[in-house]
Amino acid sequence: MYKSIVLGVVLGSGLISSVSAQDYPMKNIDLVVPFAPGGSVDVTSRLIAEAANQYLGDVKVVVSNRAGGGGIVGQNFVANANPDGYTVLAMTSSVVTNPQLKGAPYSIEDFIPVAAYNLDPEVIAVPASSPFDTIEDFVAAAEEDPLNMAVAGIGTSHHMSGLALTSSVGIEFNYMPAQGFGEQLQAVVGGHADGAFWPMGEAMVHAQAGTVRILAVASDARDANFPDVPTFEESGLGIPVWATFRGWAVPRGTSEESVTFLSELLKQVYEDEKYQQKMTDAGFDATYRDATSFQSLITSYTDQVVPIIEDNGLAR
Amino acid sequence: MDQIVLGFTELLQPSVLMMLAIGVFAGLIVGSIPGMNENIAFAVFIPFSFSLPAEQALALMVGIYCAAAAGGAIPAIMIRVPGTASALLTTVNGNAMARKGQAGQALSIAMTSSVLGGLLSALVLLVFAPVLATIALRFGYVENAALTILGLSSVVGLLSGNVLKGILSAALGLLISTIGFSQVTGYPRYTFGSVNLIEGIPFVPILVGLFGVAAVFDLLQDQIKGRRDNNESEKLPEIGSMHLGRSLICRLVPTWLTSATIGNLIGMLPGAGMLMAIYIAYDQAGRRFRKKFEGRAGEPKWDDGAPEGIAAPEAANNAVTASSMVPLLSLGIPGNSTSALFIGAMALHGLVPGPLLFTQHADIAWMIMVAFLACNILMGPVAYIVIRTVSRLVFSIPKNVMVGLILLLCLLGAYSDGNNLFNVWVALGAGVVAYLMKVSNIPLGPAILGLVLGSQMEASIANSLSISRGSWFVFIDPVNHPISVAMLLLAAVMWIAPILRGLRHLRASYFSAGTSN
């Protein structure tokens, strides 16, 4: 008797879950990009949507831009959205730091990570005309006198990567904030700054063009495009990885089925060769980390930045 | 030369050329709608650009970019509402001419100036891009700081009358630019806990408010006044003849050349942009006009229909278009926010601007450069057709209907920059503030320049002082920063010249008073 009830429940729930899996997605999925069209998150999101829509049949992933407040307006919109699986955030690492740094009204726990599609390790770049040929030259000079380093702004991940170096090996920097990457590039290529803390994604083409030189990369392995550039760890900088990430997240409360479905969808996209080529051409390294692995990425990033924010008094 | 030919063969494919023409047409329309501008047009277009081949998408964008800067002059002249921020100064003399029954002439001057400014800038891009890019690189933190000071100083010459009010206005603009998360200190300022203000007041909405919404209030006031006085509502000016006489053309040549040069120089410097170019060009043209023409028989006053007052800003703003691509194409550094959108559009097609573009995708790189030349050639006839057909139709709408329509379009434009309702409030608020300033005779120009240049000024001064370890002499160091010294001297001249003129005026009136006694 009991056995048959248990069996019934199990079968029933299995049936329900399989039905609900087929039920989703029934309509278009909104991929919220919290920035204006044309930026890196927008471009990558559109490449993903294009690839994803080949596998979705009748419904589509639709990119919708909700800019404002440096991304917080759109991020907050998703945090408060109906957790039905039809609102997805194009999530960046700034979601981790925005509550603490900028007083964003959400918390990182308001989101469930779906999957990561791009990791962007930090690099130390110098002008092509720089006297520093190697990371050792750079560190030696920084020990003498703080170097002037271009960064995207005080309190950005890039500024904090410099602060992390101060904590780990004691070298200090003079930070030269400039909002746009163009202005930073002008300062570095023109030799007005000694170097820059940049994401690899931005620095790569300019290093390949020979206008800047990358001295070290903060990832666990060397970059295939720059086999001669050592990692931070190899250079004795004491930071194994420092990378910003891009991925998908959904509001807390979204069903596990939806999360799994979206995660699998991103995996399919990742395995698409045409998509990989397009990402490479646009200057991004396509990767895939499933929900669990993305969660641990977020956790380790949080563990890395929170002490830096607190030690340097950056919190609001 | 081979490469230029390569560019042309790419461009001369019928489908690409067609896109360029569509872009020019669309740009003129978008530019002539108050509240819409090329940034908003790009934001709408970029998602669709996916489905087009790269060369077609980029040709269309080049067309929109160039033509929008020209189209802004049409409503500026016809109804005193600038279509884009870059036509802000064209309203003054343009509308004055139109009210005198010379609307066609004014439009013709505006379009000719735009085409010439654009052509000169396209030639500069095509021939001198690599050389100019190295000049752009000489601009570091110190030079950028001096450049912003020069830009702000350019309004001094425009302050007729109360200098104090002008300074007040500039201070207001600078103060508003400090709102938001400071990139220098990393702390929020005047955000009052609002998420929407973290990045500062959104830029496109505030501009739309300051020049679009405020102009609507102005029109409304005219309407109400007209009704109260029981007058027939003033008709919109007829377009009339668009023929430009030979003597007028000859007379405008120096203004065109100076303004195009100013536009070219400012366009290639990252961060400065169109607004700074039109102010400096307008100031230059005003000085020349006062010296050579004002007071002569048959000559209008400056600000009251001087052809130079249309030619200068229109030549300058179109000269910015192609030259802002100089640092973008040769170095990957965008010259302004619009050319930055080209990066996104190119990335969608797997292209990254910078030196590598010329080795990996030389056809596209050179196609973009010759497209600037071609689209300016196309712009003349297309503008003529648009003015004769679309504009004539639009300006036959009754004025009161037009007022409501423009307000709606402005608010729509503000909203569509990020799809955020907060932007609508910003545009309305900015419109009210600008209207109140006008009523109290406070000039708007200094506030807008302060707003545009504020954060760049703050960051570049802070970074310069950081490099010099706190020494202010870095700005006047003739050995390491000669460009900065030169620009600061020029800025000083802009301040001193009106003072000297005032003193001379005072002395003359003192002496004449003395003799009469």
Nearest to B79 by CA among B379, B405, B383, B412: B405
Q: Would you state the pLDDT for residue B515? A: 54
By Cβ distance, the residue of A73, A209, A281 closest to B420 is A73
Interface contact B356, partner A, CB < 8 A? yes
**B48 touching chain A per CB within 8 A:** no
pLDDT in tens, B270-287: 766 788 899 999 989 998
B306–A contact, CB cutoff 8 A = no
**Which of the residue ranges B401-415, B417-431, B499-513 would you say has the lowest mean pLDDT?**
B499-513
pLDDT of residue A155: 87
Percentage of chain A beyond pLDDT 90 is 78
Is residue A233 a contact partner of residue A164, using CB atoms and an 8 Å limit?
no
- Cβ-nearest to B184 among A65, A154, A183: A154
Q: What percent of chain B is modeled with pLDDT above 90?
A: 44
Distance from CA of B42 to the nearest CA of A (A): 8
- Cβ partners under 8 Å of residue B34, min gap 6: B75, B81, B82, B83, B208, B211, B212, B215, B216, B406, B409, B410, B413
Dihedral-angle region of residue A173 (phi above 0 means left; psi in -120 to 50 means alpha; beta otherwise): beta
Q: Does B181 touch chain A (CB under 8 A)?
A: yes
Residue of A nearest to B183 (CA): A153
- The pLDDT value given to residue A2: 56
Name the band, by pLDDT with cuts 50, 70 and 90, for residue B517: very low
| Helical (H) or strand (E) element with B437 | helix B422-439
Test mutation, A64, A94, A189, A202, chain B, max B CBs within 10 A: A189
Is residue B85 scored above 90 in pLDDT? no
Q: Looking at A85-99, A299-313, B85-99, B159-173, which range is the least confident one?
A: B159-173
- Of B28-37, B40-49, B306-315, the range with the lowest mean pLDDT is B40-49
Q: For B296-309, what is the mean pLDDT?
A: 89
**CATH T-level topology, domain A122-217:** D-Maltodextrin-Binding Protein; domain 2 (3.40.190)
- Nearest Cβ partner for B356 among A38, A104, A205: A205
Under 8 Å between Cβ of B183 and B459: yes
Query: Which part of chain A is CATH 3.40.190.150?
Result: 2-119+243-311
Alpha-carbon distance A74 to nearest alpha carbon in chain B (angstroms): 9
The CATH fold assigned to A2-119+243-311 is D-Maltodextrin-Binding Protein; domain 2 (3.40.190)
Say if residue A18's pLDDT is above 50.
no
Size of interface A-B (CB pairs under 8 A): 174
Among A80, A72, A85, A102, which residue's Cα sits nearest to residue A29?
A85
Contact A282 B327 (CB under 8 A): no
Token pair for A73: 């307006």
Q: What is the per-residue pLDDT across B246-270, written as a single tens digit (0 to 9) for each?
A: 899 999 999 999 999 999 999 988 7
pLDDT for A145 equals 93
pLDDT at res. A266 = 97
What gap in Å lies between CA A124 and CA A150, rounded to an integer? 10
* Listed range (A204-208, B331-335, B447-451) with the worst mean pLDDT: B331-335
Picking from B496, B372, B484, B458, the residue whose alpha carbon sits closest to that of residue B119 is: B372
Q: Give the mean pLDDT of B124-147.
A: 88
The answer to whether A160 and A305 are in contact (CB under 8 A) is yes
- Tokens for A256, please give them: 């596990």
Q: Are residues B53 and B14 in contact, defined by beta-carbon separation less than 8 angstroms?
A: no
Rounded to 5 degrees, φ, ψ at A213 are -125, 135
Mean pLDDT of A216-243: 94
Which residues of chain B does A209 touch, with a Cβ-Cβ cutoff of 8 Å? 332, 354-356
pLDDT at residue number A125: 97
Per the listing, tokens 């002539």 go with: B32
Mean pLDDT, chain A, rounded, equals 90
Average pLDDT over residues A195-217: 93
| Closest chain A CA to residue B423 | A68
Mutate to test the interface with B, among A54, A118, A129, A183 (most CBs of B within 10 A): A183
Average pLDDT over residues B326-335: 86
Per CB-CB distance under 8 Å, the chain A contacts of B415 are: none
Provide the chain B residues 72-91 that lie in CB contact (below 8 A) with chain A.
none
Question: Touching check for B57 and chain A: CB below 8 Å?
Answer: no
Q: What is the predicted pLDDT for the residue at A7?
A: 53
Q: Which of residues 422-481 of B touch A (CB under 8 A)?
A: 422-423, 455, 459, 463, 466-467
The tokens of B141 are what? 């933190």
Residues B217-225, mean pLDDT to the nearest whole number: 84
Q: Which one is predicted more confidently, B368 or B496?
A: B368
Residue of chain B nearest A201, judged by CA positions: B352
pLDDT beyond 50 at A220 = yes
**Domain locations along chain B:** 2-516
Per-residue model confidence (pLDDT) at position B463: 94
Tell me, what amino acid is at A16?
I
A26 and A38 Cβ atoms separated by less than 8 Å: no
**Cβ pair B356:A63 closer than 8 A:** no
User: Would the CB atoms of A177 and B344 count as touching at under 8 Å?
Assistant: no
Calculate how close chain A gets to B140, using CA atoms only, in Å. Answer: 5
Domain with CATH 3.40.190.10 in chain A: 122-217
Work out the average pLDDT over A208-213: 93
Q: Which residues pair with A175 in a beta bridge?
A: A149
Rounded to a whole number of angstroms, the distance from the CA of B204 to the nearest CA of chain A is 12
Q: Which residues of B touch A54 (CB under 8 A)?
A: none
Instruction: Give the mean model confidence (pLDDT) for residues A182-199.
Output: 93
| Arithmetic mean of pLDDT, A117-145 | 96
* Alpha carbons within 13 A on the beta-carbon side of B494: 22
Mean pLDDT of A238-245: 93
Burial of B139 (0-12, 13-18, 19+ CB in 10 A): buried
User: Considering only residues 96 to 155 of chain B, which have any Cβ-Cβ distance to chain A shorter than 8 Å?
Assistant: 136-142
- Confidence class for position A180, pLDDT limits 50, 70, 90: confident
Share of chain B above pLDDT 70, in %: 96
- Whether residues A40 and B347 touch (CB distance < 8 A) is answered with yes
Best residue in B64, B181, B424 for a mutation probing chain A (most A CBs within 10 Å)? B181
- Which positions in chain A touch B193 (Cβ < 8 Å)? 103
Asked if B354 lies within 8 A of A187 by C-beta distance, the reply is no
Provide the ipTM.
Answer: 0.84
Above 80 in pLDDT, residue B229? no
Instruction: List, for residues A50-98, the tens digit of each pLDDT value.
Output: 999 999 988 999 999 998 888 999 999 999 999 999 999 999 999 999 9
Q: What is the mean pLDDT of residues B348-365?
A: 86
Confidence of residue B332 (pLDDT cuts 50, 70, 90): confident
Q: Is the pLDDT of residue B476 over 70?
A: yes
Sign of CA dihedral B117, B121, B122, B124: positive
Is residue B376 within 8 Å of residue B318, measured between CB atoms?
A: yes
- Looking at the DSSP bridge assignments, the partners of residue A247 are A91, A116
Amino acid (1-letter code) at residue B132: L
- B287-290 long-range contacts, CB within 8 A, separation 24+: B287/B157, B288/B254, B288/B255, B288/B258
Q: Check whether A6 has a pLDDT greater than 70.
A: no
